[in-house]
Amino acid sequence: MNIKPAKKINGVLSIPGDKSISHRGVIFGSIAEGVTEIEGFLMGEDCLSTIQCFRQMGIPIEIQDDKIYIQGKGLQGLSAPKEPLDVGNSGTTIRLLTGLLAAQSFSTTITGDGSIQKRPMKRIVEPLRRMGADISGKEDGNYAPLHIQGKELKGIHYDLPVASAQVKSAILLGSLYAEGQTTIVEPARSRDHTELMMNYFGGKIKTEGLTITSEPIQQLIGKKVSIPGDISSAAFFLVAGAILPQSELRLTHVGINPTRNGVIQVLQKMGANIEILNPRHVSGEPVADLVIGSSSLQGTIIEGDIIPTLIDELPILAVAACFAEGIT
């Protein structure tokens, strides 16, 4: 691969689908009743691992061109896999599915590659055990492989020690099956893709400030899901358009979820010429077209509550800071 420096860049781009939302589309489509059609799905290895896990649990999933078709079997429609579920390198898959599997009527083993087996799991195992889950693994369930014996769960009140969308999502997936209400209190706001998509499919999630409340439900209904472009991928083009002279890029159908859009706020604070056009809601998520033009950037301070909304974009913001006037 030969990469030559560009003096300027102009054009219209379609950004690859959001990874976090792609995972959740497959999860909720699989436990909903009826067909779910997903367009804009990110065909990356991690998201494909989620598809494979549900196929192992008896869910028919077809990939046709750039669309995914899921024949959901309802909340009680999963079947015991014949072999351990292998998530590959996907931390999202193993953490979210652990919450879902804890409430099933069968036992499962779920694992991943060498990297996954080194990642701590106690942060999700602990609250799920409080709900009644039966989960075991290395070092008392802190590392995969995890062995999960499905149990009847009960709702809990849980104060998250650290803001984590994955921990929150694992609890919320378990809460779909739990007896009684589940309440989660976050120390700071984390990504809310699970709450938005769960409600889009028919869930009963209420959010007031940092408190999320989930009620058990009887069913979810299959939907047509359009995955927005990943803001983390869009960030590279936003910075490129800002720092190169005589440049203008239009990025279409990009997710601008407030729990993820910190990179836009910081670039605007630095003086980037960003326009947010045609804002709308698609499949429960806020989406817009972004236009970025050549800009004279200024140094800034990035701190506090905005950090969780741009944690993945800090490296590319460091690049922007190199081209800004002053200290960042």
Active site includes 312? yes
Residue type (1 letter), 295: S
| Spatial distance between the Cα atoms of 43 and 67, rounded to a whole number of angstroms | 10
| Spatial distance between the Cα atoms of 32 and 49, rounded to a whole number of angstroms | 19
C-beta of residue 201 within 8 angstroms of C-beta of residue 56:
no
Q: Compute φ and ψ for 233, nearest 5 degrees.
A: -75, -40
- Catalytic position from the list 65, 134, 159, 312: 312
**How many Cβ atoms sit within 10 Å of the Cβ of residue 82?**
7
| Spatial distance between the Cα atoms of 32 and 27, rounded to a whole number of angstroms | 9
Number of C-alpha atoms within 13 angstroms, CB side, residue 280? 10
> Which residues 6+ apart lie within 8 Å of 85 measured at CB?
53, 56, 57, 97, 108, 109, 110, 111
Which sign, positive or negative, has the C-alpha torsion 307, 225, 205, 194?
A: negative
Torsion of CA 190, 191, 197, 203, to 10 degrees: 0
C-beta of residue 13 within 8 angstroms of C-beta of residue 237:
yes
Of 192, 201, 198, which is closest to residue 214 (Cα–Cα)? 198
Of 19, 13, 3, 4, which is closest to residue 96 (Cα–Cα)? 19
| Spatial distance between the Cα atoms of 99 and 296, rounded to a whole number of angstroms | 47
Of 134, 163, 156, which is closest to residue 147 (Cα–Cα)? 134
| Spatial distance between the Cα atoms of 23 and 42, rounded to a whole number of angstroms | 9
Active site residues: 312
